Structure 1
Amino acid sequence: MVSGFHRSVSLPGSNRLDEPCHLRSTSLPCRSHPALSHLIDQIRSCLDPCTRCSSPAAGLGRIDRLLAALDDLLRLPQAQDTLRGGPAWVDRLLDGFLRLVDAHGSLRSVVTALGQDHAEARAAIRRRDPVRLASAARSHRRAEKELARLASTVKDLARSRSLNPGLWAEEAEAEVAGIIAEAVAATAATSMAVFLAIAAVSSSAATSMSKGSWTDRALRRAWKKRSEEGAMKAMEESMEGLEEGNGRVFRSLVNTRVALLNILTPSL
């Protein structure tokens, strides 16, 4: 669980977000500034337990909106000036974004493989081929394990506390570091939820494929039933949505990290 800020901006869920407050530094906009307020709202959305259990595609959409809000904050000259003053802690933020980029890059490969496995399973049912169906089930199990591994790679980011404000002399640095660190943690927490939700779907599919004795009659009956209900088509559409949504998140993560690097090393 992500902890709250110890300064004037606090984590979503903390009572401080509901109290009138202002950043005490004159170098940054107050809490009511649209960019900062919008970013706080998006962090809240990612950490809201009522939305955490929604679909993986919806989770990816929340991450994308959070990163867009973070991009708006990073475009502020005041925020850029503050970031240039603390290269040590910015390195930690850069590392966090790099790990998220790697995780979502791997997710892209897993989602593609799951789409192929789904096509194999559909062909196996259509052709009444239990051997081919069992192979697709094993592939889904491998995907499940890989997704669990991806969740573990960002677990500590999701649990990380805000960077210690005492590391900097200027309060403005602590404020910006804190809000960006919380954005990283909220992104990681939602990414974990997405990875584990897809893993659960993959596990369920593998169990269904492996369940019972897939005789010729059983496979024929399964194909007829699934064709009538449109379940196979719905699953395909879901996978397409995941691929598109994760692609947007992956690009946004890369762009955010590049933006931070550009702030640290401005062109002459």
Structure 2
Amino acid sequence: MVTGLARLKSVLDSLDDVLQLPQTQDSLQNDVVEKLLEDFLRFVDAYEVFHGVLLGLRQEVSSAQVAIRRKDNSKLGLYVKAHKKFANDVAKLVGTLTERSNEVVKPDDEIYIVVRDACRLTASISEAVFGGMSGSFGPGRRPIWAGLGLGIRKARKEEEGVGEFGKVVKGVESLLEFRKRKSNNNNNNDSNREEVKMGVLKGMQEMEECVGEMERESEKVFRSLISNRVSLLNILTHA
């Protein structure tokens, strides 16, 4: 996901360079520019929501780590609820870019083709990023704490981490369940609970790093999308 966002920014920066070329401004017709403005408004809205989800998620993960150390079960319960809300918000984003207006393109015009392909690539990468994030919130394909203490994978291996965010929240639920069954006379239970606690904390730390990196990259994409819209508006204004 992080790699996808970085590549998307490169695509958008290249597109912005193309949009500022004099030959591009002379070639693009008003109806095409207006359609592109609509598409980019949809992109901007989607990434504004996405960035908000990432920011909120990182803050909740940070608070949850404090709650674990302080044994504050009520705040951990709130984290589980917030996690599910973020999962729903990202799932909704996956379908926001599927509705696209009919393209108005001159197939024999190189400028039109370049702009069209860049927009298609923007939509495709965005859908993949949102879909990957949505999958990370899922329950995963293995038992949640089959390997205690492993945590989630690093951000640079995010493509291998399908369901990993979901595993963290499942770990929190397991920790809450342990605390409900707390028995002062059961040393094995105390040992297992501590092992789960350490595994959850490690997973949350890595999750916080991963989300923070995605947050930074999504902000860059958002700014590039705004820049592209400004270039399109300039074309329309000077047409």
TM-score normalised by L of structure 2: 0.75
What's the RMSD between the two structures over aligned residues? Answer: 2.3
Match for 2:40 among 79, 94, 97?
A: 97
Contact 1:60 1:249 in 2 (8 A): yes
Could you give the per-residue CA deviations for residues 21-77 of structure 1, whole angstroms, max 9, x where no partner exists? xxxxxxxxxxxxxxxxxxxxxxxxxxxxxxxxxxx1111101101001112212221
Q: Name which structure has the greater RCO, CA cutoff 8 Å, separation 6+.
A: 2
CA distance in 1, matches of 2:204, 2:49: 25
Q: Does 1:255 align with 2:233?
A: no
CA distance in 2, matches of 1:251, 1:94: 15
* CA displacement at 1:106 relative to structure 2: 0.8
* CA displacement at 1:108 relative to structure 2: 1.2
Which stretches in structure 1 are left out of the alignment for 5+ residues? 1-55
- The equivalent residue for 2:10 is 65
- The equivalent residue for 1:111 is 54
Give the total of aligned pairs.
200
Contact 1:101 1:254 in 2 (8 A): yes
Could you give the per-residue CA deviations for residues 214-266 of structure 1, whole angstroms, max 9, x where no partner exists? 32546543333455xx4333222211111110110000000001001111213
- The equivalent residue for 1:5 is none
Q: Does 1:77 align with 2:22?
A: yes
Q: Does 1:179 align with 2:124?
A: no
Give 3-state SS (helix, strand or coil) of 1:165's partner: coil
* CA displacement at 1:126 relative to structure 2: 1.4
Contact 1:60 1:246 in 2 (8 A): yes
- 1:201-212 residue pairs with structure 2 within 5 A? 201-203=136-138, 204=166, 205-211=168-174
Give 3-state SS (helix, strand or coil) of 2:52's partner: helix
Return the letter of the residue paired with 2:5.
L
Q: Does 1:246 align with 2:231?
A: no
Q: Does 1:193 align with 2:193?
A: no
Task: Give the fraction of aligned pairs with identical amino acids, expressed as a percent.
Answer: 32
CA distance in 1, matches of 2:199, 2:15: 46
Return the letter of the residue paired with 1:107.
F
Match for 1:222 among 190, 196, 207?
A: 196
CA distance in 2, matches of 1:210, 1:181: 46
* CA displacement at 1:193 relative to structure 2: 1.4
Q: Does 1:165 align with 2:106?
A: yes
Structure 1 stretches of at least 4 aligned residues deviating more than 4 Å after TM superposition: none
Contact 2:171 2:196 in 1 (8 A): no
* CA displacement at 1:110 relative to structure 2: 0.5
- The equivalent residue for 1:12 is none
Contact 2:43 2:225 in 1 (8 A): yes
CA distance in 2, matches of 1:105, 1:243: 11
Return the letter of the residue paired with 2:64.
A
